[in-house]
Each structure stands twice: as C-alpha cells, then as structure tokens.
Amino acid sequence: MSKLDKNIRAFLTVVFALSFFVFGWLSNSAYEPGKRIQKPTVLDEIKKTKKLNVVLLNAPSTYYIGVEGAQGFEYDLLSAYAAHLGVKLNIITANTIKDAIRLSKLPHVHITSASLAKTKEREKKFNFGPSYFEVQEQVVCNRGMIISGNFPRSIEELAGLSIKVGEETSYSETLRSLQADGFDINATFDTELSTEELLEMVASHEIDCTVADSNIYALNQRYMSQIESAFIISGREQLAWVLAPNSKKLEADMYSWFNNFNQSGKLAQLKDHYYSYVLFFDYYDNTMFYKRVKSRLPTYKKYFVKYAEMYGIPWRLLAAQSYQESHWNPKAKSFTGVRGLMMLTLKTAKLLGVKNRLDPEQSIKGGTRHLNQMLKYVPDEVEGENRLKFALAAYNVGMGHIVDAQTLAVKMGLNKNIWSDLKKVLPLLSQKKYYKTLKHGYARGSEPVRYVDSIYDYKDILQNINEEDKEAKE
C-alpha cells in the first residue's frame, strides 16, 4: 500500500470518528429527561378532525327522526357536548344494544350512546363517562293477564310465563343472575329485536313479559295501552356513555362539561322535556267526546270554520284533529313541549308566525296552515281523500317517514298512494328489519295510523251530530 493510500485511509477514519462524536453530542444536547414524543390523544383527534364520532341507538329514548328532524334525550345531550367542543356530531346508528356494543369497538368511534347501564360486568369491559340518568329495570307484562289472574307481582310468580329480552343487555345479565340463584324463569335472549319491539310483542301478547328500564317503559306506555309494569327487578342503575379506550383527556373534559351542564339546570330541562308528562293523552271514548262537543266546541267553532274556508280544508276535520291533539284545551301541553289547541312546537309556531301558541285563534290558524303545507308535500299521485290522510299522518310523524312507508309499500307489492295500503306498512317502521333499510330509520309507525283513524272517527261523529240536529229542527 502506498504512502498516499495510507494517508487517505487515516483521514477517513478520523472523519468517521468525528462524525460519531458530533452526532452523539447533538443527541445528548437535545435530550431532556422525562420528555417524550407524545401520541395525539382522542380529544386532540376530535378537535383536529372537527368530528365527534358517536354510535347512537335508533330508539325513542336515545335518537330518532321526528317531525322536526333528529331528536331524542341522548341525541340532544350529545349535541350539547359537541357544541361545547366546537365540532360536528357524526352519527353511526345502531338498531339493538348488541349492535351498539359491537360498533363501539370500531377504532374511529369516540362515544357509544345506547341507554347503557353501568353494570358490574360492563365496567370490567368498558370505559364509562359520567352518569346522566338513573333508572330501574322493570318487568313489563300484558295488561290482559290481570283479568286472567296470571299477572306476576314477584320474581317467584314469573315461573311458567314466556319472557324474552335482548341479548347483551343489562336485562339479560339480571335474568341470568336470577336463574343462577335458582329462580324458575323461562327466559329467551334475542339477538335481533330491540326493547321497543319486545314491548310491542308484550302489547300484542305474543309473549307474556319482557324487561325494560323505567325511562323506556315511561316513553312507551302512552302508545301501548296493553303493557303494564309488574314490578321492579333491579336496584337503581346509572346510564352512561361508553368512551373509546385510552381516552383519559376526553373523559376529564366530559366530566368538567357535564358538571357545568348539570349545575346550570340544562340537564333538568332536558329531562323535563322528554319525561315530564304534564298532560297524559289517550283516546277518549265517545261519551266524553259528545260532552265536549257541547261544552267546548262552540267556543272555537268559528275559528275552525274561518280558517277551513281560507285553506280549503273541511272544518269538521280540523275540529276533529284539534280534539285528537288537545281535547279542545287551549292550554294543553304534551311531554315533548308542544302546546295549544293544535299542539304546535315552538319552532313550527315561529315558522308559521304564531306568536302565542295558547291563543286559540292563532293556534287554529297556525295548525291549519301547517296541515296545508303538509298537503303540498304529498306526492301528486296521491288523490282524493287519501291526500288529507297522508297530510295528517305527516303532521303527526313527519313527511320523511311517510315517504319511507311508500318505499316499503312498493317493495311489498302494495299501492303506495292509497291510505288503506299505507296504514298496513306504517307500523312496520318500528321494526328493525324494515327501518334499517330506510332513509329516516325508526318511527312509531302505528301512532300516525291511530292518529288518522281517530280523527276520522271524531269527524264522522261531528257529521252525524250535524245530521241529527237538522232532523231535530225539521
């Protein structure tokens, strides 16, 4: 090896050694004990993407599409939290609690809201946020069993009865625990049906009993006259949201927000809006209706006649609708906050120019105008008396669900443009196997059917009273 080659090799060796020294020195200078590169938290991700990804159970107690769009106690609560964060609420719908739990495990889901109770088993598996509602599990049975003498009043009396609850619910945990303790309970655990669907099965006496949280029972009893709470089967349980794993920062922020939301009285207002029934509605019998035709209708008849002529709608139909809505009580208020003779929401009243919903004339004018708007939304293919029935149903449940029912009618080979066929389809909107394929999801489809039928029953009575009065005068 030449002397020149030796010098070059020595030089490269020195340079190589120096580079290692410099790199080591720089690395040591930059290092600070205890300082690590931190991965963005779940809360950081939410704020960066401006999206709060939420799994929501499509049910009356949580989230559904109502007359004025999305609503539900848990939906409103989540919307308030999303507003606090300054982000958009991105909803992923679930049809059963089992479905919600499955979806909660997706990597991009931040919160799961499905009226989930903090049970001991669940707390081992999930990270819960703050409790927002207290409930108790109730055994709910068919009212007709009272007459037959089979209505249960204790756990022991469940022996021999057919009971069905949803799988992976707190109810299935409760019943399995009781079975393990030796109680004779003939229970089946369904993976497909929602609690609301099971309550409907109880109402039609396809099964004897099911189990439901007290808030879910309260929301459904006014629509299902044949269900009755038998007894409480659990202690007090706390409902809470399931949070994504490793979301301590999100959890801390949520607890802080929830504490302020609760102390401000907004949580109490929300509970009052959905659960405090100021006036409990049912379908009054003909005797009561006849009495009120004489005692109440004369005060408001002139307004029904006036605005019926203005909008081209039969006045007796308007009067019948008002009776169905408020029993002709100008101060009526429902559990959802709608008020007055025509039971207008505050939002709808503002859009219609109604300044005082408790003023009889303003309410009747606004309600008639609103029904007229629904008539304009009814497809042109719907003709004759069917148009009024479609509009009334839309007044009750929203036009979106009417369109969904028409879509379903076509699939079932029915005529989507006649009420007699549509009323066969509407009740199916509360069944998951049907509503999960439709744009607007779950709806109490049997309610607009009863609503329209009741209005036309009252209208016919008013017509008959009119004919009887004519005969009496002659």
Angle at 97 between CA 92 and CA 98, to 5 degrees: 95
Q: Based on the number of CB atoms within 10 Å of its own CB, is 374 exposed (0-12), middle (13-18) or buried (19 or more)?
A: buried
Question: Rounded CA gap, 407 and 389, in Å?
Answer: 17
Query: Is residue 401 within 8 Å of residue 445, measured between CB atoms?
Result: yes
Angle at 347 between CA 80 and CA 303, to 5 degrees: 160
Q: How many residues does the chain have?
A: 474
What tokens appear for 269 in the block?
């207002």
Q: How far is CA 227 from the centre of its chain?
A: 19
Neighbours of 26 (CB within 10 A): 10
- Comparing CA positions, the residue from 314, 342, 294 lying closest to residue 67 is 342
Can you list the positions of beta strands (E) in 86-226? 88-94, 111-113, 127-135, 137-142, 163-166, 187-190, 209-213
What tokens appear for 376 in the block?
């304009």
Catalytic residue among 325, 383, 385, 474: 325
Is the CA virtual torsion 425, 416, 379, 437 positive or negative? positive
Q: Reply yes or no on whether 192 is catalytic.
A: no
Beta-bridged to residue 93, according to DSSP, are 56
* Widest pairwise Cα distance in the chain: 140
What contacts 329, CB < 8 A, 6 or more positions away? 279, 296, 341
Alpha helix (H) residue ranges in 31-156: 42-49, 73-85, 97-104, 120-125, 144-148
- For residue 214, the one-letter residue type is S
**Residues tagged active-site:** 325
